[in-house]
Chains A and B, each alone.
Chain A
Amino acid sequence: MSSNIKVVTRHGNSLKDKLYLPAIYDGVKVTFKHLFDNVTDMNAIDTLEYPEEQPTDITSRYRGLHRLTHRADDTIACVACFMCATACPSNCIFIEAVDREDGVDEKMPKSFFIDTLECVFCGYCVEACPCDAIRMDTGIFSLTGNSREDFVMGKEQLLSHKGAFGEEVSCART
């Protein structure tokens, strides 16, 4: 065990560190550099005028609003195994399972709700899913509604969300 421990010397004990003033000078230098840049070129300011301006840097790894994926034959990929609900740290996934009658699989969710107000967008559900049935690649980062119920996403709504990064169909079960 001890072979894995790396002893790191504590910083901040030099005279320069103890004086504080050099560090304060470094900070103030950055502040004044930005002030100078922003005053000389107003268009280069690093803030977005949201919502008129939308972010352009959302990548495929961004954890946006959830969606339920489809299989290649356009049926629901979810088999209601409850892995996401089990992994969920805020217990905000509510599933009711039912016998699947369309011959594709044995089991499917009768209802599938995610309470996005309780959700912490940790992505554990996506990690846990054995069927690649739940994803957070919609790129949707803003959610508005008039009542608490508006934020509880049902199965149909989750299925209607589209993936924003090309991978539309569930990648499980080749």
Chain B
Amino acid sequence: MSEMIEIIVDDKTYRAEEGSLLIDLLIREEIKVPYFCYHESLGADGNCRMCMVEIAGQKRPQIACDTLVKSGMEVNSKSTKIEKVHTDILELELINHPVDCPTCDQAGECSLQDLYMDYGLHDAKVTIVDKVKHDKKVDLGSNVMLDQERCVLCARCTRFTDKITHTHELGIIGRGDEAKVSTMPGRKLDNPYAMNVVDLCPVGALTSKDFRFHQRVWFLQSAESICHGCAKGCNIYIDHNKMKYQDDVIYRFRPRRNDAVNGFYICDEGRLSYKELETNRLESMLYDGVVVDEHEAIAQYKSLLTQYQGRVSVVIDANLYSEEIEAIVAYAERIGAKVFAPLECYNDPSFADDMLKSAQRAANYGAIVKMGLETNMPSDAGLIINFNHPTHFNAEAEIHFSTHKQESNALLLPMAAFSENSGSLINEVGLEQWCEKAVEKNSPAPTVLSWLEKVEG
């Protein structure tokens, strides 16, 4: 590790590592600096020229993203001269930018919009008719749509495929007005992390085909959660919204920065896994395929429990929250049942890679291991009480707490999915993380804890 030195920014002294990037310091200390092309995980590229600052002793303004911190450096990020530089460079970026914010999905979370409000507010010198025209609807593959007119050529997407996924699908071709992002002829964007370019794109050039036109972003509410696709525990935002007279619906998952787990990214499979939470959900209590009310269901539950007294096994899904698992284990103890949490079915080596995907496809895998629960299959059980475990077990009778519909004559009781409840998860390396409750359904399914209260009450 190199030496810590002191530098002065806007007359205040800050400590930074010698040789680190000036823009990192500015971002970390929340000193306002505009930029498009710089990204902490992709490094400096220095092509957008937005992050200009004045450095004492230097004749011209310098870009903060490609300036290394030196001892005694004096930086000025706020002055009329620098404001003018920002405004002029932004105007240059906007010369050929189409005025289609009304149809653009990025509107509301767009760097160009934000920076225009901060630095621009100028009238256009180029009319809409004279703007350079490119393709507006290019399907890059992997659910990514490209609008070449909106692109500011920051090269974040191309650097992502070069430096992060090493798949090199994207490149900038042509020069001057003809420059545009494109794939090689006949090739598509095709890697399991491709949709991250949508988040990376500071403008509306790359949009997600999956989210496209479904909702304007300013209506969305974000909850901090953890992806349930595998045991990696990637941090995500659940973006959801309840439109008037409708139900609370999840529109997308977005990666949430956590340098200890997933950095800035998530895999496409995890990103699209929100769809499972919205489809084929078990909504009513069923017994023998017939809808029953709560009173009947609980009566049936209790009679099954008495009938198989002493021969009851409880099976726990490794996607449940730790608090729920603890409550189930305590409940099993009270009713004298054996507890199983079979892990075999979650193992999928074909899913794993050396980036973010883990072969253990259960979000709370770590908790099951940590608690030391029995991970074999239940054997010789009279009654199995299954808490959302995906495996089908052979038993004389079965009670199934389930988030999703399934073909079964057992007593099926709907329960809340992870997005409708809060709790903690332990990932494969033993890191404990908290998930916020995101969705409040119009008619919410009970959580595991409220089910346990009901059946014991």
Q: Do A and B bind each other?
A: yes
A residues adjacent to B (C-beta < 8 A): 79-83, 86, 91, 94, 97-99, 105-107, 130-131, 173
Contact A79/B102 with A106-B136, A106-B137 known, Cβ cut-off 8 Å: yes
Contact A86/B102 with A91-B244, A94-B244, A106-B136 known, Cβ cut-off 8 Å: no
**Chain B residues whose C-beta falls within 8 Å of the C-beta of A79 in the assembled complex:** 102-103
Assembled-state Cα–Cα distance A105/B101 (Å): 12
**Cβ-defined contact, B212 with A99, below 8 A:** yes
Contact partner of B102 among A91, A94, A99, A130, CB < 8 A?
A: A130
**Cβ-defined contact, B216 with A107, below 8 A:** no
Contact partner of A86 among B128, B136, B137, B218, CB < 8 A?
A: B218
Contact A99/B244 with A106-B103, A106-B136 known, Cβ cut-off 8 Å: no
**Cβ-defined contact, B213 with A131, below 8 A:** no
Assembled-state Cα–Cα distance A68/B426 (Å): 53
CB closest residue in chain B, given A131: B102
Assembled-state Cα–Cα distance A94/B244 (Å): 8
Pick from B101, B213, B245 the residue with the most CB of A within 10 Å. B213
Contact partner of A106 among B100, B214, B245, CB < 8 A?
A: B100
**Cβ-defined contact, B244 with A97, below 8 A:** no
**Cβ-defined contact, B213 with A98, below 8 A:** yes
CB closest residue in chain A, given B212: A99
**Cβ-defined contact, B244 with A107, below 8 A:** no
Q: Which secondary structure dominates where chain B touches chain A? A: loop
* Interface bin, chain B: 10 to 19
Interfacial residues of chain B within 90-111, with CB under 8 A of chain A in the complex: 100-103, 107
> Top 9 A-B pairs ranked by shortest CB distance?
A81-B102, A97-B213, A107-B103, A82-B216, A106-B103, A79-B103, A79-B102, A130-B102, A91-B244
CB closest residue in chain B, given A97: B213
**Chain A residues whose C-beta falls within 8 Å of the C-beta of B213 in the assembled complex:** 80, 97-99, 107
Pick from B102, B216, B219 the residue with the most CB of A within 10 Å. B102
**Chain B residues whose C-beta falls within 8 Å of the C-beta of A94 in the assembled complex:** 243-245
**Cβ-defined contact, B103 with A86, below 8 A:** no
**Chain A residues whose C-beta falls within 8 Å of the C-beta of B107 in the assembled complex:** 81
CB B163 to nearest CB in A, in angstroms, measures: 31
CB B394 to nearest CB in A, in angstroms, measures: 46
Give me 22 A-to-B residue pairs in the complex whose CB atoms sit less than 8 angstroms apart, sorted by A's number.
A79-B102, A79-B103, A80-B213, A81-B101, A81-B102, A81-B216, A86-B218, A91-B244, A94-B243, A94-B244, A97-B213, A97-B214, A99-B212, A99-B213, A106-B100, A106-B136, A106-B137, A107-B102, A107-B213, A130-B102, A131-B102, A173-B128
**Cβ-defined contact, B218 with A105, below 8 A:** no
CB closest residue in chain A, given B102: A81
Interfacial residues of chain B within 338-355, with CB under 8 A of chain A in the complex: none
Assembled-state Cα–Cα distance A140/B165 (Å): 60
CB closest residue in chain B, given A80: B213
**Cβ-defined contact, A83 with B102, below 8 A:** yes
**Chain B residues whose C-beta falls within 8 Å of the C-beta of A173 in the assembled complex:** 128
CB A6 to nearest CB in B, in angstroms, measures: 31
CB B221 to nearest CB in A, in angstroms, measures: 15
**Chain B residues whose C-beta falls within 8 Å of the C-beta of A81 in the assembled complex:** 101-103, 107, 216
CB B313 to nearest CB in A, in angstroms, measures: 47
CB closest residue in chain A, given B216: A82
Pick from A82, A83, A173 the residue with the most CB of B within 10 Å. A82
CB B214 to nearest CB in A, in angstroms, measures: 7
CB closest residue in chain A, given B147: A106
CB A14 to nearest CB in B, in angstroms, measures: 51
**Chain A residues whose C-beta falls within 8 Å of the C-beta of B136 in the assembled complex:** 106
Mask: chain B, 242-266; 1 = CB below 8 Å from A; 0 = not: 0111000000000000000000000
Assembled-state Cα–Cα distance A146/B84 (Å): 62
**Chain B residues whose C-beta falls within 8 Å of the C-beta of A82 in the assembled complex:** 216, 219
Assembled-state Cα–Cα distance A67/B102 (Å): 19
CB A40 to nearest CB in B, in angstroms, measures: 56
Given contacts A79-B103, A82-B216, A106-B136, 14 further A-B contacts (CB under 8 A): A81-B101, A81-B102, A83-B102, A86-B216, A86-B219, A94-B244, A94-B245, A98-B213, A105-B103, A106-B100, A106-B137, A107-B103, A130-B101, A173-B128
